[in-house]
Structure formats: C-alpha cells, structure tokens
Structure 1
C-alpha cells in the first residue's frame, strides 16, 4: 500500500477513528462506573445500617423514658397518698376509725372532735379592728435571752 492509497483509505474511513476512540472510552468508563457503583452501594448499606441502629436506639430511649415517667408517676402517687391526711367528716367516722388499730394510735377521742363551723367561730370570735395594731410598741422582756 502506498502513501497515496493509505491517504485515500483514510479519507474514505476517517469517521472510524473517533468511533474507535469513543468505544475505548466507553469500556474504561464502564469499569470505573461499576467500581463507583459498588462503592456507593457499600456506603449506602453502611449508612442504612447506622440509621436503623440509631432509630432502634431512639425507640429504646423513648420506651425507657416512658417507663421512667410511669414509674415516677406511680411513686409520686403512692407518696402523695401516704401523705394525705385523713379527713374526718363526722363523729361516726371518728368512732369507726378509732375502733381500728391505726385509729387507736392516731385519732383523738370522739368527744374532742369539733366541727368546722365551731372552729371557724372560735377563730373569728373577735371583731376585726378591736385589737390595737402597731399603736404601741411591745415591752421588752429582759428575762428572755434572744440568743
């Protein structure tokens, strides 16, 4: 083949050179793409596992918090119930409660129980304004030691 024949052949099939270059680039790109796709899949799997672990941990923490709230509420209610005073509404209630073991130790005798109206009357028996208020200074008591 002479130079003129090669030049004629090149003119006729010049378009084959870019196609061969593009085919080589395609093969190289396919290998690179497959490698990057595998890397991305591995990263996605790792992140998915990490997110699932974090979600499980969050759910466990929320469940533990709810359990602690429930337990604290129950404990608070128990403590509050144990601190509640026994409200005595009538002499019969006092007599009935006084007959129990706890009542014998904690209750006053039924004859010492007074009603709310009697207590209020005893507290407010004086009319307001009858006692002097701040007009006279209190006398100093020399017998009491302030310390």
Structure 2
C-alpha cells in the first residue's frame, strides 16, 4: 500500500522547475486502519508544505505552532513568511522543548517557494536545521538519499 503525495506551487509533476515537490509513503500500522485518514504531508500556508517522520501527535503540535507563526507573520507584514523564517521559528520551538520538557519525537522536512526561489530544510528533534537541494528521511533514508544523489 503505497500512496504518493506532492506539494508544489506551480505543478504536481515530480520534475518541477520553479516549485517544490514533497513525496511520502504512507504505511498504516494495521490493515484495519482506514489509510485515507492518515496524513503525512500538510500545508502550513499557501507557499510552504511540511512532512514528518516520527510521532504523529508531536507533528500535529508543531504543525499548529507553524501555522500560527505563519498567520502572525502575515498579520504583521501582509505576506506569508519566507521559508527560512518559518523554519527558524519551528526549530526554535523544538530546541526550547528539548531544553525544558522533552525532545519532540519527529524529524521534519519543510519545503517552500518564495521570492528567493524553492527551498528545502530538514529539522531534527534537537532543533538543528539544514538547507538541502534534495533530501530524504525515515526508515529507508540511506537508499533514498543514494537514489537522489545519483539523479
């Protein structure tokens, strides 16, 4: 059971030239689960999408905080935030929780398209983040990254 999703501002093709593509594999823990209720890719705002690997409940908390940060930025500047600004905000929340409560059990890929062009960031549970041209995370990460490096 493999479903592929993509997020792109300009196209839903995996070969976007001026957009961003996020693809994920949905796996239900049990064949009894309705897989249409599982969601791995989410929009934060019209120009930014996010996907996770790890604990779903932790992702929902971070997604809510990211959406609130995007709306706050929109209220102040009358435009949605650049991807880098939103990534810093989410990474700051994750780092703060690591220091005071517990680390979030989730890694994130945050992709967006703004005036600087397409961008992709990975945020780990400690709150560290890196920009990538292409990346993969999760159980089959090594094979997926090898695939991306070859292409």
TM (norm. structure 1) is: 0.15
Q: Select the structure that is richer in strand.
A: 2
Higher helix share: 1
Tell which structure's C-alpha radius of gyration is larger.
1
Q: Which has the higher contact order (CA 8 A, sep 6+)?
A: 2
